[in-house]
């Protein structure tokens, strides 16, 4: 007969050898479910893509706003809180890899009744008891069920970090968009004030000609309407600036303000187009793509957990206890025991099999979501490249329109002064010129937006330098 003392080491060795055995093969870094093209349709020049790209725009005010947003944004701080939660879940999932030890202590006083009969009568003694016990248990992770739980939780935590980084990238682009909306509105306001001054001068000349009998009242009314229209546009710009100030405050996590910070008088000149690289770079540079990929692998680890749950589990443990009627005599001869147990599911109505099948379907769902996020990222790059290309063409067209409108206005004024035409062609030419001038600012703003979206779509690695902030204190 084999002694338990000799079989116990053999059992532990066998369990240790089997601990690396998983009944399901997990796919690490799963391949995208879509073929990636070799290049983009309009690849950019060779060179480095700027990491903290907003600094290349040469606007110190924007730099300060971005830093404040990354530090104060409530949305981003909530994302960091989710990262901390996910890391706590990792520690919970991995706790099963360690032995569990429980310690308990008990003190009691009982009054007992003994009836010894006449004439002795009844005795009611008081009995004290003190107990100290410890119990330990450990599940041998034969099928890597616990290990795969920890791996899945670790991937979820990494994905949560990726999602926080993706939010940081989006936040920077939103702050930049809002800021350059402010700059564009103030550039439009400056232009409108110049146009108002020109329109008022033109109105004064028209009124002088009217008093001399050289212009009709209709000409005066038309020019007055032009002045009023320009003033109305200035009011609209002021109203828009107030809304943009509130939008910036929301992004920065600050109370709303009636006035956004001071801005430059004109939109910045764009630096040369960045290198776009190849679509495969998005697997590394886009944190939302990285997160989607990690979610697939995490779901696959949970398939391994579900499969292992259908197999026998092996636990070992032991306990020791001390008991006495007084504390002084508590340390005496301990009572101890050790055990090893195997538990295997036999009949569960197909529940565990259904859980395994559901887990496989979750992997399929996460894989399709990964493909969707990746394709969306490529579409965003292509849209930004196309948008910038066509916007440059539009700007060139508007600049040509302005040149033609200036010539038309000058010619119409000259002919009107000579009495060859009425005032309507002059007014039409003036309106066309001023509208084109405003359109040029809007077109340049849209070009800047296309570049911002390109920077965001190409991603980056700068978010890896962001540190997870500490927990906020509730006041």
DSSP assignments along 407-461, one per residue: HHHHHHHHHHHTTSS-SHHHHHHHHHHHHHHHHHHHHHHHHHHHHHHHHHHH--S
Residue 328 domain-assigned?
Answer: no
Residue 84 domain-assigned?
Answer: yes
Calculate the alpha carbon distances from 194 to 22, 25, 268, 342 in Å: 75, 71, 21, 88
What DSSP letter does each residue of 183-208 carry, written as one string? HHHHHHHHHHHHHHHHHHHHHHHHHH
Residue 125 domain-assigned?
Answer: no
pTM of the model: 0.86
Query: Domain of 301: which CATH number?
Result: 1.20.1600.10
Total of domains in the chain = 1
**Helix locations, 338-423, DSSP H:** 351-417
Residues 6+ apart with CB under 8 A from 198: none
Residue 421 domain-assigned?
Answer: yes
Q: Is the peptide bond before 182 cis (omega within 30 degrees of 0)?
A: no
Which tokens go with 77?
A: 């701080």
Question: Per residue of the chain (475 residues), what is the pLDDT tens digit?
Answer: 334 333 344 434 344 444 457 788 999 999 999 999 999 987 766 667 889 999 999 999 999 999 999 999 999 999 999 999 999 999 999 998 888 888 888 888 776 665 555 555 555 567 777 788 888 888 888 899 999 999 999 999 999 999 999 999 999 999 999 999 999 999 999 999 999 999 999 999 889 988 888 888 998 999 999 999 999 999 999 999 999 999 999 999 999 876 777 878 789 999 988 889 899 999 999 999 999 999 999 999 999 999 998 999 888 888 888 777 666 666 666 777 887 888 888 888 899 999 999 999 999 999 999 999 999 999 999 999 999 999 999 999 999 999 999 999 999 999 988 888 888 899 999 999 999 999 999 999 999 999 999 999 999 999 999 998 888 876 6
Residue 12 domain-assigned?
Answer: no
Residue 131 domain-assigned?
Answer: no
Contact yes or no for 46/275 (Cβ under 8 A) = yes
Q: Which residue segment(s) compose the domain that 66 sits in?
A: 40-95+158-310+365-465
Calculate the alpha carbon distances from 242 to 65, 239, 256 in Å: 17, 5, 10
């Amino acid at each position: 007969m084999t002694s338990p003392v000799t079989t116990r080491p053999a059992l532990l060795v066998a369990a240790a050898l089997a601990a690396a055995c998983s009944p399901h093969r997990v796919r690490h870094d799963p391949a995208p479910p879509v073929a990636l093209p070799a290049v983009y349709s309009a690849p950019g020049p060779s060179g480095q893509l700027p990491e903290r790209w907003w600094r290349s725009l040469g606007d110190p005010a924007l730099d300060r706003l971005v830093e404040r947003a990354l530090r104060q944004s409530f949305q981003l701080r909530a994302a960091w809180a989710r990262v901390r939660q996910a890391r706590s879940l990792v520690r919970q999932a991995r706790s099963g890899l360690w032995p569990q030890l429980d310690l308990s202590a008990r003190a009691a006083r009982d009054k007992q009744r003994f009836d010894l009969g006449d004439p002795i009568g009844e005795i009611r003694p008081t009995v004290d008891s003190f107990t100290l016990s410890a119990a330990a248990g450990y599940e041998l992770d034969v099928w890597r069920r616990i290990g795969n739980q920890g791996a899945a939780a670790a991937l979820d935590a990494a994905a949560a970090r990726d999602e926080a980084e993706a939010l940081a990238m989006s936040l920077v682009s939103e702050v930049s968009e809002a800021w350059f909306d402010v700059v564009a509105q103030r550039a439009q306001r400056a232009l409108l004030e110049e146009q108002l001054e020109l329109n008022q001068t033109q109105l004064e000349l028209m009124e002088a000609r009217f008093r001399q009998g050289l212009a009709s009242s209709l000409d005066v009314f038309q020019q007055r309407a032009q002045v009023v229209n320009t003033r109305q546009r200035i009011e609209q710009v002021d109203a828009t600036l107030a809304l943009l100030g509130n939008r910036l405050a929301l992004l920065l996590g600050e109370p709303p303000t009636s006035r956004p910070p001071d801005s430059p008088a004109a939109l910045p000149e764009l630096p040369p187009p960045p290198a776009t690289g190849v679509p495969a770079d998005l697997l590394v540079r886009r944190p939302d793509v990285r997160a989607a990929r990690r979610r697939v692998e995490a779901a696959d680890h949970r398939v391994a957990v579900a499969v292992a749950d259908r197999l026998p589990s092996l636990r070992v443990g032991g306990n020791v206890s001390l008991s006495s009627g007084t504390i002084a005599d508590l340390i005496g001869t301990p009572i101890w025991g050790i055990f090893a147990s195997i538990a295997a599911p036999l009949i569960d109505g197909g529940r565990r099999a259904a859980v395994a099948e559901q887990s496989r379907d979750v992997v399929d769902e996460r894989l399709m979501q990964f493909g969707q996020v990746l394709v969306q990222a490529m579409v965003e790059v292509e849209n930004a490249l196309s948008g910038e290309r066509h916007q440059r063409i539009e700007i060139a067209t508007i600049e040509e329109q302005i040149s033609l409108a200036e010539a038309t206005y000058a010619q119409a004024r000259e002919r009107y002064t000579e009495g060859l035409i009425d005032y309507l062609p002059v007014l039409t030419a003036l309106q066309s010129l001023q509208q084109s001038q405003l359109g040029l600012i809007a077109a340049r703003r849209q070009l800047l937006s296309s570049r911002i979206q390109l920077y965001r779509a190409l991603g980056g690695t700068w978010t890896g330098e962001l540190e997870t902030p500490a927990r906020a204190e509730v006041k």
